[in-house]
Structure 1
Amino acid sequence: MNRPSRIVLIGASAGGVAALTDLTAGLPKDFPAPVLLVLHIGAHRSNLQELLQRRCPLDVATARHGELPRAGTVRVAPPDEHMVLVGGHIELTRSAKENHTRPAIDPLFRSAALEFGAQAIGVVLTGTLDDGTAGLQAIKAVGGTAVVQDPADAAEPGMPASALRHVRVDHCVALAAMPALLASLAGRSVDSAAAVPGNGTGAAQELAAMSPARQRLFHEQQLMLGLGNFVEHLRAIGRPSMFTCPECQGALWELDDVAPRRLRCHTGHAFTDRSLQQAVSEGADEALWAALRALQEKESLMAHRAAEHRDSDPLESARLAAAARSAGRQARALRQLLHRPSPPDE
C-alpha cells in the first residue's frame, strides 16, 4: 500500500466530543489524507467512534494495532492506550502516561513528526492545560504544519491558548473554518527533501545523521516506548531535577531548552509544569485523605483499648484514652482543612 503524502493528527480534551463531531462532519468525502484522533478519554469506555460515524462521510473506526494509515479514513485512539506511528504503522501501547493521561496527544504528534516530517499536519482543539503544545512544537521542528482552534471559539481555551503562546502556529481558525482548511492543506504537496520518513525506533547508528531536533524527538520516543538505555536518553535531552514522578515516584529529569518546562522520568512518564502541578495536587489530596483515615482508625483503636483496660489497668486506660483524644483532635483539624473550599486559582 502506498504511503500517504500527508497525514492529519488531531487532539482534543474537554469539549472535544462536540468539536470533533462537527469538524469530521465537515470533511469532504474525497479527503486526501488519513486522520488520526486523540481525545482525553482515559480508561473509560468511549462511544466517540459511533458518534463520529453518524455524520462523518469518511471511514471512521477505532484504531487497530499494526494498521496502515490510509487516505479518506478517520482512526480514533482507544481508551487507555496511546496511539503512535512506528515504521509507517499505527501502534497502540499502554506505555507510561504523558501529562497525566493515556491516551495523550503529545505521543501521537511526536511520533508523526519522526515518521512524516513536513508531511504532518497537527491540530489542537478545545481542552484545558497544555497537552498538544509539545507535540505541535515537534511537528514544527521538522517542517510540518501547526493548526489551532481559535481559543475564543473553543469550549475550553486552555490547550489552544497554550499552543499559541509557545508554538509558531501556521493557522488559528474557528472550528467552522477548519474542515475546508484541512482539506486544502492535505491536498498540497510537500517538498520530499523536507519530509523525511523515519522510524521512531530507528537504529542507533542513524542517530548521528539526524538533525538536533529529530535527535531530541528520537530520544523522547525511545523513552516513551521503553527502548534503549534510558539513562543515555535522559542525559541527551535533560538534567536531573529535585522532583519525583507522581505516577511512579522515580526521579524526574527536566528537559533542556523547552518552553513550557517539561519533565520526564526513566519509566516514560512525562509532564509539563501544569500537568505536574495537577498530578501532585491530586496526590497530595489522596495523601491527606489517607492520613485522615489513619487518624480516625487510631482514635477508634485507642478508645477501644482504653475501655478494655479501664478496670484491669486504670493508668494504661488513661494513657490510651489520652492518645485517642489527641488523634481525634488531629483528625477534626485535618477534616476541617480538607472540607475548606479551594482557592479560585486551583
Structure 2
Amino acid sequence: MPASGHAIRPGRILVAPPDHHLLLQGEMVLLSRGPREHHTRPAVDPLFRSAALSQGPRVIGVLLSGGLDDDTAGLQAIKQCGGLAVVQDPDGAEDPCMPGAALQAVEVDHCVPLARIAPLLVELVRQTAPATVAAPSPHLVHEHLAGLGADNAMDELRQIGVPSTLACPDCKGALWEIQGAHPPRYRCHTGHGFSLRSLAAVQQEATENALWSAVRALQEKELLRKVAALERSAGDEDRAQQAEDEAGSLGDQARMLRSLVERP
C-alpha cells in the first residue's frame, strides 16, 4: 500500500487506497483526500494530470473498459505534456463508453485489443523518452491547482473558467465551465470536478433519490389513518373522513410517482 512521501521505484505497482486520490509529486507519491472528481475518490483524472505535470514525456496513460468519460481529460493532459496515450479497442471492451469517448477527444498513440496492451507496454517502456520536456500550459497548471482544492482554488478557477448556472452535486456551490474543454468540463471553487457526462449521471442519481424520498414520504400515510381512528373514537366523523380521504389521496400520489421512478 503506498504512502505519501514514498519514492517511485521501477517495477513497483501502486494501487490507490480507498477514498484517497493517488497523485505524483516529482519523484514521490502523494495521497490526498481532496475534492472528488466525477463524484469519485480515487479518480483517474487527478492521477493522470499529476503524472503529466511531474513526468512529462515519461508517462504512458492506459485507458481500459469503463463507463462515461471519466479519464478523457487526464489522458489529454498526458498528451499535452508529451506522454503517450494507449486505449483499449472499444470493440472488445466490456463497456466501450470510456475508451470510445477518449478516441473521440484525444489523439491516442495506440488503440489495441486488451490482449495486446501488455506486450505493447513492454515495447514502449524499452524506448528512450524524449530528452526535451515541453513546459505545461498555464491552463493545465491552473486546473490542476484548482482541483486540489487549495485556499487559492477560486483564483485558479477564474483563470480557466466562466460561471455557469449549474450547481455542484457534491457541495451545492456554483459550477464553473472550463473554457476550451472538449468534452465540456465543470469545476466548483472547492475543487469538485465533472465532465458533462459524469455531471448528468450524478444529477440523475440525485433526482432519483429525491423521487424515492418523496415516494417514502407519501407512503407514510398510516399516521393519517391513526388520526382518523382517533377522530372517529371522539365522535367526529367529519374529521375522521377527512383524514381517511387525505390518506387515500397520498396513496394514489405515491403509486403514480412510483410508476414514474420505475419506468424503464
Q: TM-score, normalised by structure 2?
A: 0.93
C-alpha displacement of 1:74: 1.2
Q: 2:249 — aligned with what? A: 326
Q: Per the alignment, in what secondary structure is the counterpart of residue 73 of structure 1?
A: coil
Contact preservation (8 Å) 2:35, 2:149: no
Q: Per the alignment, in what secondary structure is the counterpart of residue 140 of structure 1?
A: helix
C-alpha displacement of 1:65: 2.3
Q: 2:139 — aligned with what? A: 216
Q: Comparing 110-119 with 314-323, which one deviates more in the overlay?
A: 314-323
Q: 1:304 — aligned with what? A: 226
Rounded to whole Å, the distance in 2 between the matches of 1:285 and 1:116 is 42
C-alpha displacement of 1:116: 0.9
C-alpha displacement of 1:87: 3.5
Q: Comparing 83-92 with 158-167, which one deviates more in the overlay?
A: 83-92
Q: 1:273 — aligned with what? A: 196
Letter of the aligned partner of 1:78 in structure 2? P
Q: 1:126 — aligned with what? A: 65
Contact preservation (8 Å) 2:147, 2:153: no
Find the partner of 1:287 among 181, 204, 210. 210
Cα shift readout 1:31-51 (whole Å, capped 9, x = no counterpart): xxxxxxxxxxxxxxxxxxxxx
Rounded to whole Å, the distance in 2 between the matches of 1:114 and 1:235 is 20
Cα shift readout 1:143-174 (whole Å, capped 9, x = no counterpart): 11111111122222111111111001111112
Rounded to whole Å, the distance in 2 between the matches of 1:339 and 1:188 is 54
Q: 1:63 — aligned with what? A: 2
Q: Comparing 88-97 with 271-280, which one deviates more in the overlay?
A: 88-97
Letter of the aligned partner of 2:49 in structure 1? R
Q: Per the alignment, in what secondary structure is the counterpart of residue 248 of structure 1?
A: coil
Letter of the aligned partner of 2:107 in structure 1? R
Letter of the aligned partner of 1:133 in structure 2? T
Q: 1:171 — aligned with what? A: 110
Q: Per the alignment, in what secondary structure is the counterpart of residue 75 of structure 1?
A: coil
Rounded to whole Å, the distance in 2 between the matches of 1:335 and 1:72 is 53
C-alpha displacement of 1:88: 2.5
Rounded to whole Å, the distance in 2 between the matches of 1:333 and 1:191 is 63
Letter of the aligned partner of 1:95 in structure 2? G
C-alpha displacement of 1:195: 5.8
Cα shift readout 1:46-76 (whole Å, capped 9, x = no counterpart): xxxxxxxxxxxxxxxx322221111111111
Report matched runs for 1:42-57 at 5 Å. Answer: none
- CA-atom RMSD in angstroms: 1.7
Report matched runs for 1:234-253 at 5 Å. Answer: 234-253=157-176
Stretches of structure 1 that go unaligned for 5 or more consecutive residues are 1-61, 197-210
Contact preservation (8 Å) 1:116, 1:195: no
Report matched runs for 1:25-44 at 5 Å. Answer: none
Q: 1:30 — aligned with what? A: none
Q: Per the alignment, in what secondary structure is the counterpart of residue 310 of structure 1?
A: helix
Q: Comparing 150-159 with 112-121, which one deviates more in the overlay?
A: 150-159
1:148 and 2:148 matched? no
Find the partner of 2:237 among 285, 290, 314. 314
Q: Comparing 91-100 with 250-259, which one deviates more in the overlay?
A: 91-100
C-alpha displacement of 1:321: 2.2
C-alpha displacement of 1:92: 1.2
Stretches of structure 2 that go unaligned for 5 or more consecutive residues are none
Find the partner of 2:153 among 215, 230, 235. 230
Rounded to whole Å, the distance in 2 between the matches of 1:316 and 1:88 is 75
Rounded to whole Å, the distance in 2 between the matches of 1:66 and 1:255 is 31
1:115 and 2:115 matched? no
Cα shift readout 1:195-228 (whole Å, capped 9, x = no counterpart): 66xxxxxxxxxxxxxx5x2x22222222222213
Q: 1:105 — aligned with what? A: 44
Contact preservation (8 Å) 1:245, 1:252: yes
1:255 and 2:178 matched? yes
Rounded to whole Å, the distance in 1 between the matches of 2:147 and 2:180 is 19
